[in-house]
Structure 1
Amino acid sequence: MSEGELNKQLLYSKLVKYATSEYDDEDSYSSKRAWNIVRIPFRNLARGTVSLPLGGFIFCVLWAMYTDLDAATYTHCGVKNYLPSLSAAMGGFQVSQIIWRICIALHAAPRFMVTGMYYRYLKSIILGRHIVWVVLACVLNVLENMGLIGLTYVSSKENYRIHEKCFIIFMVSSELYMLIMCALLYGSRNIPATTMETKSLKVKWGLVVLNLVSFALAGYAFVRHNTYCEEGMYTIFAFLEYLVVLTNMGFHMTAYWDFYDRILTIDLFNLTSLCSSSSAVLPYYSRIR
Structure 2
Amino acid sequence: MPEEARYALLYSDYEIKPCLRIPFEKFALFILTLPLCAFLFCIIYSVLFHFESATGTHCHVYNILPSISAAIGNFSPQREVWQAAILLQSIPRFYIAVIYLQFHHGMLYPKDAWMGNFALLLNLVENISLIILSFWTSSMHYYVHEKAFITFILMSEFYMILICIMQSRFKRHNRRSFKWKKRLFSTNISCIILGAYCYMRHNYLCEPYVYSFFAFAEYIVVLTNMAFHTTAYFDFKNRDFVLYRYGAAITER
TM-score normalised by L of structure 2 = 0.90
Count of aligned pairs between the two proteins: 237
Q: Give the 3-state SS of the residue equivalent to 2:94 in structure 1.
A: helix
Q: Match for residue 203 of structure 1?
A: 180
- Give the counterpart of 2:216 among 239, 253, 272: 239
For 2:144 and 2:158, locate their aligned partners in 1 and report how far apart those are by CA, in whole Å: 21
Q: Match for residue 241 of structure 2?
A: 264
Q: Match for residue 131 of structure 2?
A: 149
For 1:37 and 1:101, locate their aligned partners in 2 and report how far apart those are by CA, in whole Å: 27
Q: Match for residue 8 of structure 1?
A: none
Tell me whether 1:51 sits opposite 2:33 in the alignment.
yes
Deviation at 1:274, TM superposition (A): 2.6
For 1:172 and 1:277, locate their aligned partners in 2 and report how far apart those are by CA, in whole Å: 32
The one-letter code of the counterpart of 1:240 is A
Q: Write the mapping of 1:217-256 to structure 2, written as runs, cut at 5 A.
A: 217-256=194-233
The one-letter code of the counterpart of 2:100 is Y
Q: CA RMSD of the aligned region, Å? A: 1.3
Q: Match for residue 172 of structure 1?
A: 154
Structure 2: gaps of 5 or more residues: 1-16
Deviation at 1:198, TM superposition (A): 0.9
Deviation by residue 1:149-197 (Cα, 9 ceiling, x = unmatched): 00000012222221111111111100000000001101x22x222xxx2
Deviation at 1:277, TM superposition (A): 3.7
Deviation by residue 1:191-250 (Cα, 9 ceiling, x = unmatched): 222xxx210110000000000000011000000001000111011000000010001001
Q: Match for residue 57 of structure 2?
A: 75
Q: Match for residue 192 of structure 1?
A: 172
Deviation by residue 1:97-137 (Cα, 9 ceiling, x = unmatched): 00000000000001001101110000001111112221111
Q: Match for residue 125 of structure 1?
A: 107
Q: Match for residue 9 of structure 1?
A: none
The one-letter code of the counterpart of 2:248 is L
The one-letter code of the counterpart of 1:249 is M
Q: Give the 3-state SS of the residue equivalent to 1:172 in structure 2.
A: helix
For 1:36 and 1:132, locate their aligned partners in 2 and report how far apart those are by CA, in whole Å: 31
Q: Give the 3-state SS of the residue equivalent to 2:59 in structure 1.
A: coil
Q: Give the 3-state SS of the residue equivalent to 1:276 in structure 2.
A: strand
Distance verdict in 2 for CA 1:54–1:118, change over 3 Å: same
Structure 1: gaps of 5 or more residues: 1-34, 283-289
Deviation at 1:38, TM superposition (A): 2.2
Deviation at 1:37, TM superposition (A): 4.3
Contact persistence 2:74–2:137 (CA under 8 A): no
For 2:187 and 2:18, locate their aligned partners in 1 and report how far apart those are by CA, in whole Å: 44
For 2:205 and 2:249, locate their aligned partners in 1 and report how far apart those are by CA, in whole Å: 56
Q: Match for residue 78 of structure 2?
A: 96
Distance verdict in 2 for CA 1:36–1:207, change over 3 Å: closer
Q: Give the 3-state SS of the residue equivalent to 1:94 in structure 2.
A: coil
Tell me whether 1:87 sits opposite 2:69 in the alignment.
yes
For 2:219 and 2:247, locate their aligned partners in 1 and report how far apart those are by CA, in whole Å: 38
Q: Match for residue 27 of structure 1?
A: none
Which fold has the larger relative contact order, with Cα–Cα distance below 8 Å and residues 6 or more apart in sequence? 2
* Overall identity of the aligned pairs, in %: 36
For 2:182 and 2:121, locate their aligned partners in 1 and report how far apart those are by CA, in whole Å: 20
Stretches (4+) displaced over 3 A: none
The one-letter code of the counterpart of 1:126 is L
The one-letter code of the counterpart of 2:155 is S
For 2:250 and 2:149, locate their aligned partners in 1 and report how far apart those are by CA, in whole Å: 34
The one-letter code of the counterpart of 1:204 is K
Higher Cα radius of gyration: 1
The one-letter code of the counterpart of 1:132 is W
Q: Match for residue 28 of structure 1?
A: none
